[in-house]
Amino acid sequence: MRMARAIGWADVADALREHLQLCCISLGLLLMAAVCPHVPLLNSVGRLPAALIAIAFPLVGVSAALDALVDIADGKINIHVLMALAAFASIFMGNSLEGGLLLAMFNLAHIAEEYFTSKSMYDVRELKENHPEFALLLETSGDESAHFSNLNYAKVPVHDLEVGSHILVRAGEAVPVDGEVYQGSSTITIEHLTGETKPVERTVGDAIPGGARNLEGMMIVKVTKSWEDSTLNRIVQLTEEGQLNKPKLQRWLDEFGEHYSKVVVALSLAVALLGPFLFNWPFFGNSVCRGSIYRGLGLMVAASPCALAVAPLAYATAISSLASKGILLKGGHVLDALSSCQSIAFDKTGTLTTGKLMCKAIEPIHGHLDASNGVDPSCCTPNCESEALAVAAAMEKGTTHPIGRAVLKHSVGRDLPVVAVESFESLPGRGVVATLSGIKAKDNENEFAKASIGSVEYISSLYRSYGESEQIKEAVKCSAFGPEFVQAALSVDKKVTLFHFEDEPRTGVCEVIYTLREKAKLRIMMLTGDHESSAQRVAKAVCIEEVHFSLKPEDKLNKVKAVSREGGGGLIMVGDGINDAPALAAATVGIVLAQRASATAVAVADVLLLQDNLCVVPFCIAKARQTTSLVKQSVALALTCIVFAALPSVLGFLPLWLTVLLHEGGTLLVCLNSIRALNPPTWSWADDIRQLVHSLKNYVSAKLNSSSSDCSASTVPL
């Protein structure tokens, strides 16, 4: 390479390599040289074909020769080496025209392959370029909060933004990091993030992903995630990683390709050297019979693994197609796993339901004084419900759980006693434990009261007395509000208060479940930590028949493992919370709704859904099945092209240039087949045919309408 750079060979090769215009010129000159003997006017110029070849060959041969020598020096035998060997060997055999045509067609096919590959890649560069590098950080002092009346701000790099800070986003600007609207309202677009073309309204309390563009109005946004954890940065990282993390078939083909190329070279040499002895072929050949060297070159070209190498292109195409719709995969191997799964399990709260719980009632159920006993009813200050809400709100500050958010929302604007907590501990799947620094324990005035909030099962398990534990469970069953609501219990100094929340199913969930059951043929189940009545109510509303309730995180984990073993085909787990993380990690494929998911759930998941919409789950599964089918087709097509080009070449039926045409034509067919992964997926061949017919009808209709419009425009009224 040093010598090539010293004599200028490398610079010339760089200028000529994959240059579309020069490649077309070279091919045109070679075709003129091929037709010269058959055109009387050109046939009279005896040296014209040789001159045309002498001009055309270097345009494609200079870079090919250098690339082949560099690969050989590195110990690599690949398609570029095989093509260069075949082309330059043809010169010594007196077939320089065919050698030139071989290189020209190979270069054109390679340029086309690169074009199709680039078409398949989700372009993250535009996202990077359009994302703001700076943010307008609002300056506040002390306890002063950000407000439109006080818009003192500083321009800071987005990487320096901290969670909890407030930024100003004006009309036409992009939101630099994930946040929620603190003040103001506006319309935003997230089309470049999730593919959703319809603008959406955002008002106080609504979440906004980083990269969303503010179309109108002005907002103060509270930062909820740093740049490293923001939606846009995650899109860029996961899309790039997903295209680099190769599926098993692609890794195998990469390893196989190098060994296969060496076998092809060995077989080609065997045909060239042993042909005269075994089959009485001439060594160099003549006009009647092609020689063994010529046949060996044909085998070298025809059997090259070019088409096999591009067969996995469908994986990258599918990843790009999914990413453009806000579905991020951690590698092409996820597509294979998705297509093989036969079961799917959903978490309930925040996944099948909206997750936006509303506190409907607060009910003291155990340990509180009763006015009917003639005792002062104000056992709490100022009363039981207010104290319970104040304690629960203090414990749930900063939480990401839907129940915690509902408690905090319910406490806003209410006159509640001041409560401070310390020794805070979160127990995933159970609840939260803390010490109340402002409330003394009744049993021991030297200690502060302990508080716990979580599921009824967890709170009742804290009472060592079996009888008292059963009393709490019985009180819950006899609740005046019935078992239909989502429930959470709070225990403060032996007093238990029951919180009732209402959660509604997501819109369109029934259609999603129907598609997964009837079209995808998946076994569907719900895994939830909620009690039976609440779980059954939601399951009935979303048309799920198999329900597993009152599950702790380890129970969900064990259930996922058991179903995977029973079914044999793998299981998809869809969730979003910390308590779902073990099950998500153990599932064949873990899917999370990333906008609401905990950091732990996002970290272990294989698929992130940036759209807050379960309707993309069937699309994702259908795309995976479409992709694996296309890859299998591409491999079969590549092998077929190799066989149909290699055998006739060895038998001497095909000229070298036609062998190249068949080989490169097969490669282009594989590329065209692979980019079909950009099309909307279907569930069956019948759906494919219907989709094709529908597309043709639309195309013909559009052409007819266009023709009618042209005729009408050209008609001159009398």
Please report which helix (H) or strand (E) contains residue 187, including its range. strand 186-189
H helical segments located in 478-598: 509-514, 532-542, 553-567, 581-586
- Positive or negative, the CA dihedral 591, 595, 601, 602 is positive
Q: For helices 248-278 and 333-340, what crossing angle results, to 10°?
A: 100
Q: Catalytic residue among 178, 336, 347, 606, which? A: 347
Strand partners, 222: 166, 180
Whole-Å CA distances, 495 to 367, 380, 450, 455: 4, 10, 11, 15
Question: What is the number of other CB atoms lying within 10 angstroms of the CB of residue 362?
Answer: 18
Active site residue 347: yes
Distance between CA atoms of residues 137 and 156, nearest Å? 7
Structure tokens at 145: 């909060």
Question: CA triplet 254, 258, 264: central angle to 5 degrees?
Answer: 130
Of residues 426, 423, 379, 369, the one with CA closest to residue 399: 426
Query: Helix 616-650 and helix 248-278: axis angle, to 10°?
Result: 10
Q: At what angle do helices 9-16 and 48-73 cross, to 10 degrees?
A: 110
Instruction: Say how many residues make up the chain.
Output: 718
CA distances from residue 577 to 282, 392, 601 in whole angstroms, order as listed: 74, 20, 6
The first and second tokens of residue 143, run together, are 């306890």
| Helix (H) or strand (E) run with residue 317 in it | helix 313-323
CA distance 229 to 225: 6
The tokens for 560 are 């996922």
Other residues' Cβ atoms within 10 Å of the Cβ of residue 484? 13
d(CA 88, CA 96): 8
Burial pattern 34-69, b for ≥16 Cβ within 10 A else e, equals: bebeeeeeeeeeeeebeebbeebbebbbbbbbbbbe
Separation CA 480–CA 448 (nearest Å): 32
CA dist 256 and 262 (Å) reads: 10
Exposed, middle or buried: residue 407 (CB in 10 Å: 0-12, 13-18, 19+)? buried
Q: Catalytic site residues?
A: 347
